[in-house]
């Protein structure tokens, strides 16, 4: 189940016509269609553990999306 913060982030992206997905685990990225994607933004709700975010970053990097600007806040 996704937090209200995470759902709000998704709604904000979709409102701006940005393709967006909610995932519970970084491994879910494997099933996504990423072939025609040039840039990926990653955001997380406040309650998401840093360990899960780090795993998601590594998973995206394994698909060729480099880490550009890590931010905490």
pLDDT at 60: 92
Q: Which is higher by pLDDT, 46 or 14?
A: 14
* DSSP assignments along 11-24, one per residue: HHHHHTT------S
pLDDT at 7: 87
Q: CA-CA distance, 22 to 2, in Å (whole number)? A: 8
Q: CA-CA distance, 35 to 6, in Å (whole number)? A: 25
pLDDT digit string, tens, across residues 26-57: 999 987 888 888 888 888 878 889 999 999 99
pLDDT at 66: 85
Q: What is the pTM of this model?
A: 0.76
């Amino acid at each position: 189940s996704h937090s209200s913060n995470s759902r709000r982030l998704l709604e904000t992206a979709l409102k701006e016509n940005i393709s967006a997905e909610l995932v519970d685990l970084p491994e879910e990225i494997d099933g996504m269609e990423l072939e025609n994607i040039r840039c990926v933004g990653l955001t997380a709700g406040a309650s998401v553990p840093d360990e899960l975010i780090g795993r998601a970053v590594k998973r995206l990097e394994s698909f060729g999306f480099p880490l550009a600007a890590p931010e905490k806040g």
